[in-house]
Amino acid sequence: MKNDHSELAAYYAQCAGNLEEAYRQPECQDDLAELQRRLGETLAGHRVLELACGTGYWTRYYADAAQSVLATDINPEMLALSKAKGLPADKVRWQLADAFDLQLNEPFSACFAGFWWSHVLRQDQERYLQHLRQQLGKDALLVLIDNVYVEGISTTIARTDLDGNTYQIHTLPDGRRCEILKNFPTDSALRKRLAASTRDIRILRLEHYWMLTCRLK
């Protein structure tokens, strides 16, 4: 599955060094601690494929418990930051890869994507789940973490397109502004979208984040 997401990739490449600032907000600390704990418990013992690993912020919270990790990202800038985290070399490997066009040649029992689902167009989500199913196989565990829209804290939604996708305006370090796809699905919308391709859907919704686990059909 291929998609034109060059603007999104370019945005994250330029903001790589500042991305973890979002995790330093005092009001988010309780939610983050809960997600960090749950992620380690959920992925314990698994051979994990991580999509769009970014700076490796989340990788470090489950790497010790996992059997193995392949952390992927489309940006070399992100992988460099992730590798600098000093994660166990006997468990964690890194690979440059496009999450929209995966070409895997090894087995995984779980897939983790942090703050990635919100960047998949609503009209492409079913097809994307089928792409994951082709790469990972039946019964693989899928774990998603993403943002809840919080009025007064989240970046304002600039527009909504005809398919219901929402977009935010972000400012790059050089001062340029760019429009970024960022969806904020409800629990019912998540269940409806994933029902055809997954089973055992479980959702934890906190004040600032949500976490979903399921099995690919």
Per-domain residue ranges of the chain: 6-149+186-216
Reply yes or no on whether the pLDDT at 140 is more than 60.
Answer: yes
Q: Where are the alpha helices (DSSP H) in 16-88?
A: 29-42, 76-83
CB-based contact 75:9 (threshold 8 Å) = yes
| Average model confidence (pLDDT) across the chain | 93
Q: Per-residue pLDDT averaged across 95-107, rounded? A: 91
Q: What angle do CA 180, 183, 188 make, to 5 degrees?
A: 175
DSSP letter for 117, please.
G
**What are the C-alpha distances in Å from 57 to residues 83, 127, 177?**
11, 28, 25
The pLDDT-based confidence of 63 (bands split at 50, 70, 90) is: very high
Q: What share of the chain in percent tops pLDDT 90? A: 82
CA dist 66 and 139 (Å) reads: 17
User: In the CATH scheme, what architecture does the domain 6-149+186-216 have?
Assistant: 3-Layer(aba) Sandwich (3.40)
CA dist 65 and 44 (Å) reads: 5
Reply yes or no on whether the pLDDT at 148 is more than 70.
Answer: yes
Q: Per-residue pLDDT averaged across 146-173, rounded? A: 93
The model's pTM: 0.93
CB-based contact 143:213 (threshold 8 Å) = yes
Helix, strand or coil, per DSSP, at residue 173: coil
Reply yes or no on whether the pLDDT at 81 is more than 80.
Answer: yes
pLDDT of residue 9: 75
Reply yes or no on whether the pLDDT at 172 is more than 80.
Answer: no
